[in-house]
Amino acid sequence: MTQLDVRPQAGDTVNGAPDGGVRAKGLGGNSVGLMGSAVIGISTVAPVYCLTSTLGSTAGEVGLAMPAVFLAGFLPMLLVAFAYRELNKAMPDCGTSFTWTVKAFGPRIGWMCGWGLVIATIIVLSNLAGVATSYFWLLAGEITSSDSVAALDDDKAVHILTCLALIAAATAISYRGMTATKGVQYLLVGLQLVVLALFVAMALGKARSGDIAGSMDFSWSWLNPFSVQSFGAFTAGLSLSIFMFWGWDACLTANEETTGSEKTPGRAALISMVVLIGSYLATGIAAQMAVGSGDTGLGLANPDTSDNVFAALAGPIMGNGLGILLFVAVLASAAASLQTTFIPVARTVLAMAAYEALPASYARVHPRFKTPGRATVVAGVATGVFYTVMTLVSEHVLVDTIYALGLMICFYYALTAFACAWYFRRELFSSARDFAFKGFFPVFGGILLTAVFVKTLVDMWNPAYGSGSSVFGVGSVFVIGVGLLLLGVVIMLVMGRRSPAFFRGEVLKRDTPALVVAD
């Protein structure tokens, strides 16, 4: 397909910003409204997929306090969401974390923040593709009542080819623009939320009837984070909880394509967060009431089923007929998130290229679809290659790479939160609102995420973390997580020789807004 080079030239502006400020990139403006933007944020998080893969693990770490840990994980994400909202009002740029941290802290910290987002997204994309593939064959086996069909997922060649096909389909939809993305997402997100509501209602019914061993009555103590018996268990559960909220910022990376780009994306992010925490609390409480959090039978902490809770609970709670809807919902959740997760990585790469932090070819926008075509395709190819290589080399390496994801998430979210307070530092004491939303809330959220980052880094050193493999006595998850960040440093140094102007601060200038004193 032919693409148009619309790289911004010196003097190009966005919202009147002078050269050295944020720049136009040629994306299709006014393509998404408030509801569409919120749907994209929810879809990227993939609530049904997150629930089936982390309900059991979280219950295994903190027991009945699982809902409380969901609330604890929600807090830093909400505080960081305020930072995103305030920064987006000042600079609605699709580079989001990259652009904002450059403006606050300079090109090198900003580049590494952008790298953290990009590499985290590639890891997630590969994981989502793998999950969608597994559920595709699981669902096919359920529909055909054939164990041999379901077992095709165990054939490595079939699994990889199916995975690559799903990645290609998701890439194609994202390539065609926000309008195509939005239409697909309304259907897939709506399906997820409806099935979750049905599951919650039926789980509560099972809890009241007492038909399932282990069912229990609700207790307000489940919402008390101080009921967790050890700090180590709490931080482990918190790390899982934070992962469950990752991705809501996708609606911010689409800000240049959103109606009312200064306010709509920030509002959509907050709507996404509220919908997510409501869904997680309702599902977690209902499931715990229905089957308990024990480690035997249908208990949520049973190690034999904790990696895929809905597969174990579908039949007992919803029956064999309706239970299949949970399989459909998990597949829809993974597929929807696979498609929308291309939005942040492609637009971050586009912004980095537009500001000369990456090769200029990635700044090209498709003339018809108004999307970062080359960046989207390259992200799809990178995801396919990464997943294929990791699957062929070692399943343990693939698992450890996914465990390292939390490090990347905390890294770039915390930097963005601190960037908000520093960028607006001259305005913090101009009003109580500015102090709260531009200073205190972002810094508090950044501190919480930094604490999780440090604790995770320490835990990763232990070979028992993740798959249990090690390199020279050091945990493989630590080696992979730190190694990926160091790889970013190496690439940054190479780009520093190719694009010295950006790294000298001449393209995207570090600054802070002038303090405006009200009359």
7 confidence band (pLDDT: 50, 70, 90): very low
In the predicted model, is pLDDT for residue 2 greater than 50? no
Helix (H, G, I), strand (E, B) or coil at 42: helix
CA-CA distances (angstroms) from residue 365 to 156, 165, 419? 36, 24, 28
Q: Please compute, for residue 141, the number of CA atoms within 13 A of its CA located in the half-sphere on the CB side.
A: 16
Higher pLDDT, 482 or 514: 482
Higher confidence at residue 345 or residue 441? 441
- Is the pLDDT at 435 greater than 50? The verdict is yes
pLDDT at 24: 66
Spatial separation of the C-alpha atoms in residues 323 and 301, rounded to whole Å: 20
Token pair recorded at residue 54:
């982390």
* Cα 244 from Cα 250, distance rounded (Å): 14
Under a CB-based contact definition with an 8 Å cutoff, are residues 365 and 350 in contact? yes
Confidence of residue 30 (pLDDT cuts 50, 70, 90): low
Greatest Cα pair distance, the chain, in angstroms, is: 75
Residue 381 has what pLDDT? 92
Average pLDDT on 140-162 reads: 89
pLDDT 10s digits, 437-475: 999 999 999 999 998 889 888 888 888 877 677 788 888
The DSSP secondary structure of 205-260, one letter per residue, reads HHHHHT-STT-----GGGG-GGG-S-HHHHHHHHHHHHHHHTTTTHHHHTGGGBTT
pLDDT tens per residue across span 326-338: 888 988 888 888 8
255-282 pLDDT, tens digit each: 877 888 788 888 898 899 999 999 999 9
How many helices (H) and strands (E) the chain has is answered by 20, 2
Q: How confident is the model at residue 104 (pLDDT cuts 50, 70, 90)?
A: very high
User: Is the overall model pTM greater than 0.95, yes or no?
Assistant: no
pLDDT at position 241 is: 82
For 415, residues 6+ apart whose C-beta sits below 8 A from its C-beta are 97, 101, 105, 109, 112, 113, 116, 446
> For every residue of 64-110, which 3-state class applies, written as one string?
HHHHHHHHHHHHHHHHHHHHHHHHHHHCCCCCCHHHHHHHHHCHHHH
Question: Which uninterrupted H or E stretch holds 7?
Answer: none
What is the overall mean pLDDT for the chain?
84
Average pLDDT (329-357) is 87
Of 18-32, 219-233, 480-494, least confident by mean pLDDT is: 18-32
Nearest to 330, CA basis, from 39, 127, 136, 57: 136
Q: Strand, coil or helix: what is 27?
A: coil
